[in-house]
Amino acid sequence: MKVLLAYLGMILLWATTPLAIKLSVEGLGVIWSVTSRMTIGFVCMILIGFVLKKRLLFSRLAVLTYAAVAIQIYGAMSVVYWAAQFIPSGWISVISGLTPLVTALFAAIWLNERSLTIGKLLSYFLGVIGLGIMFGSAEKLSPQALLGLIGVLISISLQALSAIAIKRLHTHLPALMQVTGGLLFALPFYFVTWGMVDGHIPLQFTLVSFIAVLYLGVIATPLGFMLYYYLLSQRSATQVSLVTLLSPVLALWIGHRMNNEPMTISIVVGTALILLALLAHNFFDRFFRALFNR
C-alpha cells in the first residue's frame, strides 16, 4: 500500500512540476529559480530531519551515495531548468517518459540486467519514432525548441545515470538522508554556477513565479525526491521510472489548460508513440512469453 501511494504521489508531482518550473523560470530566470528552489528544499529537509531526529551519516558509502544523488539534483535539474525556457512544460514530461528506456540501457551496461529483449528493442524503436515526431514539432515551434528537447534528453540521461549509480552502491540509507545529503552536495555547485553566470538577486518578480518556487521548494523537492528515493529502495531503477508512463498525459493537459500550451496532432501522436514504447518496454515480453508458453 505504501508503494502504491508513493507511485500516485510521484505521478501527481511529476505532472505538475514541469509547469511550475516553467513559470518560475519565466519570472525569476534559470539560475536563481533553480538555486532558490533547492535552497528552500534543503532547509525543509533539515527541518524534517530535526523533527524526526535523523542525522546525516558521513561514512564512505554515505558520501558516495550523496554524490550519486547530486548528479540528479544538480546535473539533471539544472539542465532541465535551462531547457524549460524553450519548450512547453508538457513536453518536459513527455520526453522524460523516455527515462525507463535510458535507465534500462544503462542497467544492461552497468548492472548486467537483461534489458535488451525483443520487447525492449521494440520500445526503443517506437520511442525513437515518437521522439522524431516531437523534434519535428519543435522545429515548427521555434529553432530554440530543438535545444530544449536536447536539454531534456541530457537531463534524463543524467537522471538515469544517478539511479544506476545508487543501485550499484547497494545503499540502504533512508530516502530522507539520501535527499538531504544530495542537496548538501549539490547546493555549493548551484551557488558557484549562480555566481559565475548571473550573480544578482531578482527583486522584481510576479506572484505566480513566487508561488511556483515555493511549491517546488516546499513540496516538490522534499516530497518528490523522498518518494523517488523511497521507491528506488523498494523497486528496481527501471520500475521506479514507470511513473513517467502516466504523468506525461496529465502534464500535457495541465499545460494546455492552465498555460495555453499548444496541443497539435503531431504532439499527440508523438506522445502516444512514446507512451506505447513504455508499454512495450514493460509488458511486451511478458505478453510474448504468456502467448507462446500456453
pLDDT at 23 (0 to 100)? 92
Query: Which segments of the chain have a pLDDT < 50?
Result: none
φ, ψ dihedrals at 203, nearest 5°: -95, -15
> So where are the chain's domains?
2-292
Overall pTM surpassing 0.75 (yes/no): yes
- In angstroms, the CA 216 to CA 21 distance is 8
pLDDT at 125 (0 to 100)? 87
Q: Contact, 37 vs 215, CB < 8 A?
A: no
Q: CA 115, 163, 281, 292 torsion: positive or negative?
A: positive
pLDDT at 134 (0 to 100)? 86
pLDDT at 262 (0 to 100)? 82
- In angstroms, the CA 146 to CA 132 distance is 11
C-alpha cell at 39: 535552497
- In angstroms, the CA 254 to CA 252 distance is 6
φ, ψ dihedrals at 29, nearest 5°: 90, 160
pLDDT at 64 (0 to 100)? 94
